[in-house]
A and B are shown apart, each in its own frame.
Chain A
Amino acid sequence: MVVFTFLDWFWLVAFIVLMIGSGALFYRLGKRSESDFFLAGRGLPWWLPASSVYATHTATDTPMWVSGVVYRHGLAGLWYGFFAAWCAVSAFVSTKIFRRSLAYTQAEWQSLRYGGMSGELLRGWVAGWQVFLNMFILGWVGIAMGKVCFFLFGWPTWIGLVLFSSLCAVYVLAAGFWGVVMADFQQGIIAFVAIVFVSIWGIHAAGGPQTIVDKLAALGETSKLNPFAFTGFTTGDFPVAWFVTMIVIGVIGGFGMATAIDWFPEAQRIQSARSVKDASWSIWAGQALVVTRNAIWAAAILAFFTLYPNLSEVKDYEMAWFRLGFETLPAGMIGFFFAAIVAIHLSTISTHLNLGAVYITRDLYHHYVNPKAGERRLVLVGRVGTLVLLAGSFVFGSIMENITEWLIFALWIMAAGVWLPGILQVVWWRFNGWGYLSAWVFNLVFSWLVVWVLPAFGVLPHLRDYQQFWLLMILGAAVFIPVTFATKPEDMDRLVKFYVMSRPVGWWGPVRREAERRGLI
């Protein structure tokens, strides 16, 4: 347990007041309309959504995850976070296309790209899935905060979960996305300063960079400084095949939409930017900060490794960065560090509260229940949706120990079987709603079979994660490509409208010619 001095409590209380106050200040802007409550009126300069992307993807559990992979693999562990590379490509391809569609969400985009029953089914499915997933992530991240509070103060885990998520809900309920993005900006700054400061402090506590390098050599662990320390093409902990798969998923995935779990919060930030150009640079810069942040953490984890080289339990070494801070910072700075952890936490919680609520409001209530609802009613529904997500997160958080494996599975199936369809829907005019829907449905079936059922019966060996990815992609393609060709193309009027508005890249020849024939481009 950690003992706080007066100065520690001062930092913590001052930062919480600042964070909540800066969000709630935008109450008047947030309540103006649905567009304000969920997209900050589509008027933000690039650096605000960029800081929000960075702050959102810096969660309480992120340093634990980075600590785990870097402690095990050294700097090669950085590649585990390199799926962020999808933003490097997307910023100049699919981000532009999505921004030009003006869709509030990825679910709404489905009903612009696809028509008829398949478009509606896809919109409903994506919306429902996202409500569930945001609630789940809130519970997951919330309980991580509960564990940090237990580690620090000995509080029961539910206190950390409920207390900080509820504090965050104050400004999300008051100001919607205006509150989220304004609080994210200063939370992002606080978090970045703390990450740099604590990491440098930890490196210094371990004797400085040269001492760390010397100790790694003495331990026979010099390879931990090599980010390309492969263990073989397909063998060992860090095979080339895994690395190539990760690069392909990230880089090629940038041409598509919904090819990564981060697409969904990014979609909201893309639409909140004031222009196409601002949207592109916001996504690029936000994820550039994420990969740079991972690198700073990695250096600190190497320092931790030289201090504690023989930890074998995940639960011990995944706390590496937290331990560096709490064990080496002087009295009076512990509160600053904890306040930064609270900043990290609130920025993620606020995003998912507002993001889940936009699916409830825009895609479920506004679309299906009350299409003629006025702005006041829509903002009210947004607030009710926020409360529903908050309550749901408490339930999920309380049972998270039992279902984390399910969440990892859920995240995995998002990436594997629908990765290629996510690209095809952007680059190929002939890909239709039934093809995409069949990809989702059969991916659920195939991933169960490949990951769990067939290995359990000895029909299929237990495959490595990158092998599962390629197998699921091939199995999915064997279904969604025939389904696409067996069903009609999307209506040409819809495709032309979509093409003229969004100007997608790739194989859109027939649609482009039709648009030119109509004199639209």
Chain B
Amino acid sequence: MASSAKQWTPKEAEEWTREDTIAVVISPLVYILLMLGTALSFMLRPIGFVALAAGVALLVVLVRVIDPKLSAVSKGYELRQKQYIEDLERAVKWEG
């Protein structure tokens, strides 16, 4: 897929894009296919093996679509995490 080769900058990756929409649509489908595929495969139903294979294939698509974007978000965020943790400790103190 073209999107799998995309190099995201942290700033670009912060925005909601087509890849996020694809991920939130595909992801529950993968759960459904893995769940039903596993149960029916244990009963040796051909449809079960088809569903399981489709689930694995969609999982590969999911990873290729969203993982590069997640990596970019992580990379950008972790540069600032230490400062955020210090801010958090100050911000959540009770001052009543």
- A residues contacting B by CB (< 8 A) are 75, 78, 82, 84-85, 88-89, 91-93, 96, 100-103, 108, 111-112, 120, 199-200, 203, 209-210, 212-213, 225, 227, 250-251, 254, 275-278, 280-281, 284, 287-288, 291-292, 294-296, 298-300, 302, 367-368, 371, 501, 503, 505, 521
Contact B35 A209 (CB under 8 A): no
- State the CA gap A338–B28 with chains docked (Å): 33
Pairs A-B, 10 closest by C-beta atoms: A299-B42, A295-B38, A295-B39, A88-B27, A277-B74, A209-B44, A277-B70, A291-B35, A275-B74, A88-B28
- B residues contacting A by CB (< 8 A) are 14, 16, 20, 23-24, 27-28, 30-32, 34-40, 42-45, 66-67, 70-71, 73-74, 77-78, 81, 84-85, 88, 91-94, 96
CB distance from A366 to the nearest CB of B (A): 9
CB distance from B71 to the nearest CB of A (A): 6
B45 — which chain A residues lie within 8 A by C-beta? 213, 225
Contact A287 B31 (CB under 8 A): yes
Contact B43 A276 (CB under 8 A): no
Contact B35 A302 (CB under 8 A): no
Interface residues of A: mostly helix, strand, loop or mixed?
helix
Contact B30 A199 (CB under 8 A): no
- State the CA gap A212–B40 with chains docked (Å): 12
B14 — which chain A residues lie within 8 A by C-beta? 503, 521
B78 — which chain A residues lie within 8 A by C-beta? 275-276
B43 — which chain A residues lie within 8 A by C-beta? 209, 212-213, 225, 299, 302
Contact A227 B94 (CB under 8 A): no
Q: Which of A84, A108, A212, A300 contacts B92 (CB 8 A)?
A: A108
Q: Which residue of A lies closest to B24 (CB)?
A: A89
Contacts A85-B32, A203-B42, A368-B96 known; 5 new A-B pairs at CB < 8 A: A89-B24, A92-B20, A213-B43, A275-B77, A295-B37
Contact B74 A276 (CB under 8 A): yes
- State the CA gap A371–B91 with chains docked (Å): 11
CB distance from A184 to the nearest CB of B (A): 21
CB distance from B73 to the nearest CB of A (A): 6
Q: Which of B38, B81, B85, B93 contacts A292 (CB 8 A)?
A: B38
CB distance from A201 to the nearest CB of B (A): 12
Give 10 CB contacts A-B under 8 Å.
A102-B85, A103-B88, A209-B43, A250-B28, A251-B28, A275-B77, A276-B74, A277-B71, A292-B35, A292-B38
